Structure 1
Amino acid sequence: MATAACPFASQLTNTEKLPNRPETPQAPETTENTIFTQERIDASPAITSDNPTLIHSEYDLFRQSCPLAYTTNYSGYYLLTRYADIKSAALDSTTFISSVRAVIPSDPRGLRRPPLNFDAPAHTPYRTALDRTLKPARIARLSSPLQNHAERLLAPLLENGQGNICTEFASDYAAWVETEWLNLEPETAPKLARTASDWVDAWRRMDGEKTTYYSGMLYDIARGVLADRRENPRDLEEDPASSLLAEELEEVGLVGCIRQSLVVGMVAPPLMMGGICNYLSEHQGLQQQLREDLSLIPAAIEEFVRLFSPYRGFARTVSKDTVIHGHTVKPGIPISMTYSAANRDPTVFENPHEFILNRPSIAMHMGFGRGRHRCVGQPLAKL
């Protein structure tokens, strides 16, 4: 294989036919002593590691020297790390589409569910229906029951004086948030917590059989709630299933959207809460400051989301040949919009690896994404 700085695959046209190694046209300039061979990229902690320190250190190198990297991992995809590039792609939903690949790795069965895997205009009625149930008045009404769930679930940890905030609180709490938002029966919450956890684990292991099994359980919940709302419709601004039914969408899309909604709120919260609590345990001064002045918490949450974005990013493919940093990207090849890298771009966030309360540029963070596919549950997540 030819050795080149920051190699690319500019001639490939189909993700199902990617070769073991991409072609390596002339690459952009790199900084001195930083040569990104294909082997170097494929083995990079930015691609292979779960260690945040190593990952962010690599993002710094990629951002400076190889802003459009290509890896052969997961059948091949591009990696964007600069804030400007990622924001531009997220806001251009005509060129950077979601209907081919929206996550890396994809569902091992190749399934596509709305609204995450849909493009406009097919995407729009699903978002309209879900957004309708997350208006400020609804969020305010959810505040009290969700606080009660939080206090109840935290009580055993406080009584014991210790516990795992991710597995013993956050995963169960996330299930109760979903249960309240979707107006599910109370007994659904513990089942949802267990099933979603098992589903995520199977997906991470790319175990198609187990993924299908646990996904089927989530589909059963989705079908059940839709069947009930057909018989007992509720206020469109209070109930996602009723709101979706009002859009007169196809059954497969309705079930898929509820199924998607069941999962998206289950993955990020445990990771986010774990990152927050770990940081506060190591920074007692900040912890005490937030205890003494609760008005600082919203600003702190925004900075935590910037620092500890639970999703590294989402994927797009281009709808036409697109030149990025002098290289032509072909349709079909996934491009990772790496939000966690964008959130630590020093051109936007000064001292990006530090926690800075009331950071002047904090509104620019991309922890909830941008554009048509920004996080639909953002208001609920912030609550």
Structure 2
Amino acid sequence: MQEYDPLAPESFDTPHEVFADLRARCPVARSEAFGGFWIATRHADVKHILDHPEQFTTTVRNVVPGASATGRRPPLHLDPPEHTPYRRAIDRALGARRLAAIEARIETHVGSLLDAYIEAGGGDFVEGFGSPLPALIFADWFHLDDAQRDLLWRTAKAFVKAWEDFDVATVSKTSEVLYGLARDLIAARKADPLDPDIDPVSSLLAATDAAGQPLPEEMLVGCVRQILVVGLVAPPVFLGSVAVHLARHPELADELRRHPEQLESAVEEFLRLYTPYRGFARTSRVPTVMGGREIAVGEPIALAYASANRDEAVFEQPHQFRIDRANVREHLAFGRGPHRCAGMAMARTEFRIALRQLLERTRSIELDGEVRMSGMPEVGPVFVPLKVIAA
């Protein structure tokens, strides 16, 4: 049964048209792609799954397509309480003091990238801005040197592309490079620890399990490998979507230039409107009836965050950008529950600064060719050709 085809060609708007149709007539749909899975498209169903890890586990498959072939990578591959020491350590290294220091660096990175991009008159916004920005930010957070930063960016891009193409061989090859980087970082921090309140690897090394024991070495490697990549996947797709929207709606760009105090609200509405995920997944632990469908134990369910955040039952006129949307914070762009995105505060800061500087430094943003879309598990553009005019 093929009620949802994630391999169908897509334009910028068609994924949301498909999701709207599914929400109306088949809110929990079946796909035979990638070995078969269900996809939940309504806000209430996605929220229910995220709120009940005792019924829907992340330990079997945390994303569609694919499943881990290279070991467990906490915290995403573990449920509470096993995931909690890893998550607590990551949260520790994203406290207020660290975020304040990161914010200053984000300002610098955004300005430097936009200077080059605007001087060139534009080009692919994803390659020229959206992709390198999170790599630079994560390099700062992890205290990477220039060679490590470049290796991370190149390898993460190849990894994501291979994942979208369902190229298992290249996924495994690039994943091993990332594992090697994770092992090198752990060895370096063991030899020369940094402040656990500002360095995620040092924080993980200082963490203990419920029995007060250090976390297992290979699980630490998997955790570092996981967080090295996760923050580099969504921002390029999301920022590409924002750029397309601004190019299509120059009146909104002008309004935000005149009213920069609205930028924080704009970021939240953009997150709702262009959530870059449709493939985070859980596996049912118990027989489940959802959306009129019977889901057996052990079956994977993709969580279409991008669809849930345009659910007409929750958001009035969901396909419209509304700066004053009263319930915008009900969006699920960062997930929910024990696996809610640990880096959401850093991501919001990144997006707010990027949007402000892009608008400040330009007076015109136009599309200059056809947008190319990502494949599952993301949803959004991976190629956004723009023509920009400096302010």
2:65 counterpart residue number: 105
- Structure 2 Cα separation of the partners of residues 369 and 108 of structure 1: 20
Displacement of 1:50 in angstroms is 3.2
Displacement of 1:347 in angstroms is 1.0
Q: How many residues align?
A: 343
Matches within 5 A, 1:335-374: 335-374=301-340
* Structure 1 residues 48 and 108: alpha-carbon distance in aligned structure 2, compared to 1, 3 A threshold: farther
Matches within 5 A, 1:201-212: 201-212=161-172
- Structure 1 Cα separation of the partners of residues 336 and 12 of structure 2: 23
Displacement of 1:59 in angstroms is 1.4
* Structure 1 residues 48 and 144: alpha-carbon distance in aligned structure 2, compared to 1, 3 A threshold: same
Q: Does 1:226 align with 2:192?
A: no
Runs of 4+ in structure 1 over 4 Å off: none
Please say which of residues 179-188 and 249-258 is displaced more in the overlay.
Answer: 179-188
- Structure 2 Cα separation of the partners of residues 333 and 51 of structure 1: 29
2:224 counterpart residue number: 258
1:172 counterpart residue number: 132
Select 2:118's aligned residue among 158, 172, 186.
158
Displacement of 1:109 in angstroms is 2.9
- Structure 2 Cα separation of the partners of residues 332 and 172 of structure 1: 38
Structure 1, residues 142-164: CA drift from partner, whole Å, max 9, x if none? 11112111111221111122222
Q: Does 1:310 align with 2:276?
A: yes
SS at match of 2:13: helix
Select 2:109's aligned residue among 149, 161, 177.
149
Displacement of 1:231 in angstroms is 1.1
Displacement of 1:126 in angstroms is 0.8
Please say which of residues 139-148 and 322-331 is displaced more in the overlay.
Answer: 322-331
Instruction: Give unmatched runs, 5+ long, in structure 2.
Output: 208-213, 350-391
SS at match of 2:131: helix
Q: What amino acid does structure 2 have at the position aligned with 1:294? A: P
1:136 counterpart residue number: 96
Does the CA-based 8 Å contact 1:102-1:316 persist in structure 2? yes
Does the CA-based 8 Å contact 1:108-1:203 persist in structure 2? no
SS at match of 2:185: helix
- Structure 2 Cα separation of the partners of residues 348 and 47 of structure 1: 28
Displacement of 1:307 in angstroms is 0.8
1:298 counterpart residue number: 264
Instruction: Give unmatched runs, 5+ long, in structure 1.
Output: 1-37
Please say which of residues 99-108 and 256-265 is displaced more in the overlay.
Answer: 99-108
Q: Does 1:80 align with 2:46?
A: no
Does the CA-based 8 Å contact 2:105-2:137 persist in structure 1? no
Structure 1, residues 91-114: CA drift from partner, whole Å, max 9, x if none? 111111100111000147364311
Give the TM-score of the pair, scaled to structure 1.
0.86
Structure 1, residues 240-278: CA drift from partner, whole Å, max 9, x if none? 001101122111110111111111111111111111111
Structure 1, residues 6-39: CA drift from partner, whole Å, max 9, x if none? xxxxxxxxxxxxxxxxxxxxxxxxxxxxxxxx34
Structure 1, residues 71-98: CA drift from partner, whole Å, max 9, x if none? 2111111111111111011111111110
The structure that is strand-richer by fraction is: 2
Give the TM-score of the pair, scaled to structure 2.
0.84
Displacement of 1:344 in angstroms is 0.3
* Structure 1 residues 327 and 157: alpha-carbon distance in aligned structure 2, compared to 1, 3 A threshold: closer
SS at match of 1:187: helix
Does the CA-based 8 Å contact 2:40-2:303 persist in structure 1? yes
Does the CA-based 8 Å contact 2:61-2:68 persist in structure 1? no
- Structure 2 Cα separation of the partners of residues 282 and 80 of structure 1: 30
Displacement of 1:236 in angstroms is 1.3
Displacement of 1:205 in angstroms is 2.0
2:356 counterpart residue number: none
Does the CA-based 8 Å contact 1:59-1:341 persist in structure 2? yes
- Structure 2 Cα separation of the partners of residues 355 and 94 of structure 1: 36
